[in-house]
């Protein structure tokens, strides 16, 4: 399909760039890019992709806009809260590039749809925020031989790479860098550790730049070249990831990606016990985390941010003050359910302070999966 006159006028300043002419712009217009996740990475990346002239974008995300999203998810505003992210994003992209084709899929990427979606496009841009989705995308890309622009961001730091490997190309894939999917709790998430909105915008724009370079042939980015970025102090570093000759290529998806699961029976039982008042719920997260999510409103919680603890005496004093507030009616044993975002900090807390709890007459238990698992 030839470039329409209005599109040529819209991107006219591209055509003055060295090595960037009608042919390069046409490649962008003819391209179909799949974006996984309309979040902190996906939003700025899509904004740039639509602006630069990508002709077809497919977005998959099952989430709705929340007020806590918009400091970094720049396609959304306060009036969009509660709306499907993919629908709002599609509207914004169409405003940026009249004539663009946007396929908005309000679903979660899964083992049932990943290979078909990834195999139907020219390039995949992974803006997801979980290990499970990133490995699912990477495996689907390798199975289908589709090029993948991959990025992560946390706090003031981001990483970015182009991966491309498959049945007809023994290139470099994500599993050459990280062979095994890490445990979900091994790295704090953005809700726990924080993320600077400007950093996600920077990484999203760099992802889009990689897309342009890959599709047009500009630049020299090759599969396995990783860019690492820090905002403070401003620093960039480049690393080379090489293919592991002993690694078998991914040829099929499996069932162990750890896709979003329902609340575990143990966690559900603990919540029900807390509702009855037989567990005292103690939240050890920081105040800003409580703004994002908490236990159901019918459960009374007591706040003990870890940052407020300066010594074991602080914990002992709190546990003693709570001791009389809860009692297990069956065993007569007083219990406190400690919880955090994902269950790791609460588990560490219970292990460290179990003896102090016993001295105060309390059995400390950790809520598995934390608030994120509800």
Q: Rounded distance, CA 55 to CA 26, Å? A: 9
Q: Rounded distance, CA 112 to CA 105, Å? A: 14
Active-site residue flag, 43: no
Catalytic hit among 281, 340, 342, 367:
340
Strands 147-154 and 363-366: unpaired
Residues near 320 by beta carbon (within 8 Å), at least 6 away in sequence = 360
Active-site residue flag, 340: yes
Q: Rounded distance, CA 142 to CA 252, Å? A: 9
Q: Rounded distance, CA 47 to CA 69, Å? A: 16
**Cα within 13 Å of Cα(313), Cβ side:** 1
SS3 assignment, position 56: strand
Q: Rounded distance, CA 158 to CA 166, Å? A: 26
Catalytic hit among 35, 93, 190, 203:
190
C-alpha torsion 159→13→33→63, nearest 10 = 70
Q: By the 8 A CB rule, do 155 and 193 touch?
A: yes
Q: φ and ψ at 193, to 5 degrees?
A: -90, -20
Q: Rounded distance, CA 352 to CA 373, Å? A: 23
CA neighbor of 148 nearest in space, from 221, 48, 63: 221
Catalytic residues: 190, 340
């Amino acid at each position: 399909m030839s470039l329409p006159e209005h599109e040529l006028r819209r991107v006219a300043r591209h055509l003055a760039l060295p090595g960037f002419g009608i042919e390069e712009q046409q490649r962008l217009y003819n391209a179909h890019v799949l974006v996984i996740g309309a979040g902190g990475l996906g939003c700025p990346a899509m904004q740039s992709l639509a602006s630069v002239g990508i002709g077809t974008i497919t977005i998959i995300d099952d989430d709705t806009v929340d007020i806590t999203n918009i400091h970094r998810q720049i396609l959304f505003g306060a009036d969009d809260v509660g709306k499907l992210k993919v629908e709002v994003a599609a509207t914004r992209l169409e405003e940026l590039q009249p004539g663009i084709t946007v396929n908005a899929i309000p679903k979660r990427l899964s083992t049932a749809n990943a290979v078909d979606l990834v195999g139907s496009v020219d390039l995949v841009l992974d803006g997801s925020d979980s290990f499970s989705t990133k490995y699912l995308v990477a495996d689907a890309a390798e199975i289908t031989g589709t090029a993948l622009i991959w990025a992560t961001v946390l706090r003031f730091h981001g990483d970015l790479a182009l991966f491309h490997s498959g049945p007809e190309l023994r290139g470099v894939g994500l599993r050459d860098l990280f062979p095994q999917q890490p445990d979900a709790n091994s790295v704090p998430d953005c809700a726990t550790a924080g993320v600077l909105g400007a950093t996600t915008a920077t990484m999203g724009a760099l992802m889009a730049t990689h897309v342009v370079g890959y599709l047009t042939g500009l630049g020299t980015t090759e599969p396995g070249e990783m860019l690492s970025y820090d905002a403070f102090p401003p620093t960039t570093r480049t690393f080379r990831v090489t293919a592991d000759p002993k690694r078998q290529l991914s040829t099929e998806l499996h069932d162990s990606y750890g896709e979003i699961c329902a609340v575990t029976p143990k966690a559900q039982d603990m919540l029900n016990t807390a509702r009855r008042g037989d567990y005292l719920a103690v939240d050890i997260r920081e105040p800003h985390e409580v703004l994002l999510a908490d236990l159901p409103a019918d459960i009374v919680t007591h706040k003990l941010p870890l940052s407020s603890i300066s010594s074991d005496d602080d914990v002992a004093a709190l546990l003693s003050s709570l001791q009389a507030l809860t009692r297990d009616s069956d065993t007569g044993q007083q219990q406190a359910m400690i919880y955090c975002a994902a269950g790791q900090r609460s588990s560490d807390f219970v292990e460290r302070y179990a003896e102090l709890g016993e001295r105060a007459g309390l059995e400390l238990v950790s809520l598995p999966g934390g608030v994120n698992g509800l």
